[in-house]
Structure 1
Amino acid sequence: MTPLPSSAPCWDLFCAVVDNFGDIGVCWRLARQLAVEHGIAVRLWVDDLAAARRLAPEIDPTRDVQHLDGVEIRRWTAPLPEIEPGAVVIGAFACALPDAFVEAMARRAPRPVWINLEYLSAEDWVSGCHGLPSPHPRLPLRQHFFFPGFDGASGGLLREADYAARRAGFEAERFWSTLDLALPTSDELRVSLFAYESPALGELLEGWQRGPAPVTCLVPEGRVLPGVAAHFGLRDLRPGDRLQRGALTIQVLPFVAQQHYDALLWACDLNFVRGEDSFVRAQWAERPFVWQIYVQQDDAHLEKLDAFLARFCVGLDGGTAQALGSFWRAWNRGRGVAAAWPAFRDALPALAHHAQTWSATIRGAGDLAGNLVQFCKDAIE
């Protein structure tokens, strides 16, 4: 990838934390990749450094300015300190930039490339909107919509250049030993559960508990953990706790820092993920997964879920596709998971093979960070 002109002082990336870790997860991953792989000086503005610290424990939420992994991390305050905008300004997920900063962008010469980094969606309309400009109503500025996506008509998905090498060097036996777990038995299912609260949780755990084969469920500390504790009649669960009920073993993990999350996905037979960042990582992991999409008004999220299923199920036989769709919809609607689980469990071997094919398919869209750098380079030149 050709680097941007050296005269560019930096890129500014603004992140308003809305969904706990989804927004900052994408922004932190993007900022690190731009710095490490493309040599770009990135200023990451974050309005909730405590949330950022969960993903990168080295972050100090009490400091207004700090540096980590080549990224300058700044607290997004109101008002924002007076500062010259960088050559590229990215507002993640339609967050509103401070008015004074936007006015400073208009005064800068040359004016910055302004990017609105949108949410990931598999809907057909994305390809027609990706890259489109939108002029500011009163200032001599325009922003471009940049959509992550699953094909070449989009911006692609975040994937680090060293991902394949790290994946190839992963040692499952060593990973399980760090959790004081033996290697899984031939009939055992190892599952990671990273999820929002769900009314279907108890039904799912009960089914695993009474099932015919052992299930070991790894639950990172997070929003779903109180529901797991309540199901077993406990006030709380903490990292390191282990429970066994019938065929089900629950292992509680500390919240997994972003740089270590991939290993959990690689190790498990099935991964429950949520939001956007973990959703993308599950696809690169080439393992069967279940996506819990962020809830929107009027069930708009279910349309997005169906749009992804329509793409993802291409190449699957009818029975496997039906089992996948039925279980995903039951999990997202909060009911019917017990009835949908047996067929989905039987489909896991076919889905494991399909996950490898899908990963190769979406690699064809390119890496989002690299695509973004090229888009901005073309705009600057």
Structure 2
Amino acid sequence: MQLHWDIFCRVIDNYGDIGVCWRLARQLANEHGKHVRLWLDDLNSLQPLCPAIDPARARQSCSAVEIIHWTENPRIDRVGEVVIEAFACELPVAYLEAMAQTTPTPCWINLEYLTAEAWAESCHGMASPHPSLPLTKYFYFPGFSTTTGRLLREQGLFAERDETIAQATGHHGLDISLFSYDTAPISALIETLAESSIETRLHVSPGKPLAAVAAHFGSNGPWQHGRLRVLPFAFLPQDDYDRLLWRCDINFVRGEDSFVRAQWAGKPFVWQIYRQEEDAHLVKLEAFLNRYTAGLSAVGATAVSQLFRAWNSAGDLRQAWADFIAIRSELDRYNHRWANQLAKNENLAETLVKFCAAKV
């Protein structure tokens, strides 16, 4: 039954990697009855997402998940029946050797980063034998099509979302959430929103986004600038962040975890992709835009693409924002349909459980 699952995660960019792994671990434990151990090298990055944990403790449990501080020379008491190596983080040598001595051999998964590129579909599920140990690793790609591992989505997510939105009180103007890297043209966005004829509240996440906003204003917030009210908020646990996305009219998101959650929110969003050398990230951006905008009108597809590009690299952000806002009613309807269309597929946790069961 593959009850025991081990997930290994190294924190690369504060919250992106651990955000995905924490959601997956919780879902495997709470919806699929798995005994999950999350091996994490930086507990301080998990603590804001899960305030109940103590970063000083080497082992603890939270949300039915056992959390282990992954140190340089970890003590290996046993190995999982399924072992997930998140984002090519490389398993400890001692753990690999223990896997090789285990019967039956554990199912070893390398969970890859999300991409809409077509090549990922042909590589999904590909086997890679270890060069010296009797082990095989399988590459597992999240994605937007049925030939990938799909996307993380908990049971009952849409029902909770719709109930939260239904209970929200009406408001005047726009509510926008901002979660971005420090390379985003935040100053241009602030000035564009301040000059808008629409009263806007910009909810700014802590960390790099808030630092960039504070640098723009030269003081601590909150701030009022033209028609724009800028409101910093404290770091939110994952479930509370989801609710913020549901309540806002437009969401600026980054990386992978918030990118997926913005799509489940069913609201218009703007994505900043993680920057890579030689602008390799822009290829990934275009791959997603080609897939995502296929069902929009020609005007809508152009407006969305131009704003995404302006937010990620270069372009006239002011004009791109004006064109984006002009099609907001189309985007409201479209993003709701887009979320429902994606949700027709199984979710990532479901496909993983089935994939691993077939490898026994």
Shorter-chain TM-score category? over 0.9
Q: Are 2:314 and 1:295 equivalent residues in the alignment?
A: no
- Does the CA-based 8 Å contact 1:199-1:335 persist in structure 2? no
Report the residue type matching 1:195 in the other structure: S
Q: Verify the 8 A CA contact 1:189 1:269 in the aligned structure 2.
A: yes
1:1-381 to structure 2, matched below 5 A, reads 5=1, 8=2, 10-171=4-165, 183-185=170-172, 188-234=173-219, 237=220, 241-380=221-360
Distance 1:164 1:339, change over 3 A: closer
Q: Unpaired segments of 5 or more residues in structure 2?
A: none
The CA distance in 1 between the partners of 2:248 and 2:258, in whole Å, is 14
Aligned to 1:180: none
User: Is contact 1:44–1:73 with CA below 8 Å preserved after alignment?
Assistant: yes
Deviation at 1:357, TM superposition (A): 1.4
Measure the CA separation in 1 of the matches of 2:228 and 2:315.
20
Counterpart of 1:264, as a letter, is L
Residue 261 of structure 1 deviates from its aligned partner by 1.1
**Amino acid aligned to 1:316:** L
User: Cα–Cα, structure 1 residues 365 and 320, in superposed 2: closer, same or farther, change >3 Å?
Assistant: same
**Aligned partners of 1:154 and 1:365 also within 8 Å:** no
C-alpha distance in structure 1 between counterparts of 2:184 and 2:340, whole Å: 34
2:252·2:271 contact (CA, 8 Å) conserved in 1? yes
Task: Name the SS of the counterpart of 1:349 in structure 2.
Answer: helix
How far has the Cα of 1:169 moved from its partner?
Answer: 2.0
User: 1:220 offset after TM fit, Å?
Assistant: 1.9
CA–CA distance in 2 between the matches of 1:199 and 1:157?
26
Q: Deviations over 1:154-207 (max 9, x none)?
A: 001000012122113215665x7xxxxxx421xx11100011113511011011
CA distance in 2, matches of 1:154, 1:334: 31
**Contact (CA 8 Å) 1:327, 1:341: kept in 2 or not?**
yes
Q: Give me the whole-angstrom Cα distance separating, in 2, the residues matched to 1:19 and 1:29.
A: 16
Contact 1:199–1:334 at 8 Å: present in 2 too?
no
- SS of 1:67's equivalent? strand
Q: How far apart in 2 are the matches of 1:350 and 1:205?
A: 24
> Is the contact between residue 3 and residue 33 of structure 2 (CA under 8 Å) also seen in structure 1?
no
Q: Distance between the aligned counterparts of 2:265 and 2:334, measured in 1?
A: 12
> 1:136 & 1:92 partners in 2: Cα distance?
17
Aligned-partner Cα distance in 2 for 1:375–1:304? 26
Question: Matched residues in 2 for 1:260 and 1:253: separation?
Answer: 12
CA distance in 1, matches of 2:345, 2:150: 5
Q: Is the 8 A contact 1:152 1:364 kept in 2?
A: no
Partners of 1:155 and 1:365 within 8 A in 2? no
Q: Which amino acid aligns with 2:313?
A: R
TM-score (normalizing by structure 1): 0.92
Q: Within 2, Cα distance between the matches of 1:120 and 1:85? A: 26
Q: Deviations over 1:345-376 (max 9, x none)?
A: 11221111110111122123310001100111
CA distance in 2, matches of 1:26, 1:260: 15
Instruction: Output the amino acid matched with 1:300.
Output: A
Residues 136 and 143 in structure 1, CA contact (< 8 A), matched pair in contact too: yes
Q: What do you get for the CA RMSD once the two structures are aligned?
A: 1.3
Deviation at 1:223, TM superposition (A): 1.2
The answer as to whether partners of 1:172 and 1:267 remain within 8 angstroms in 2 is no
Letter in 2 for 1:205: I
Secondary structure at 1:272 match in 2: strand
Give distance in 1, aligned partners of 2:353 and 2:126.
16
SS at match of 2:325: helix
Q: Secondary structure at the match of 2:358?
A: helix
Question: Percent of pairs identical after alignment?
Answer: 48
Alpha-carbon distance in 1 for matches of 2:316, 2:131: 48
| Contact persistence 2:165–2:246 (CA under 8 A) | no
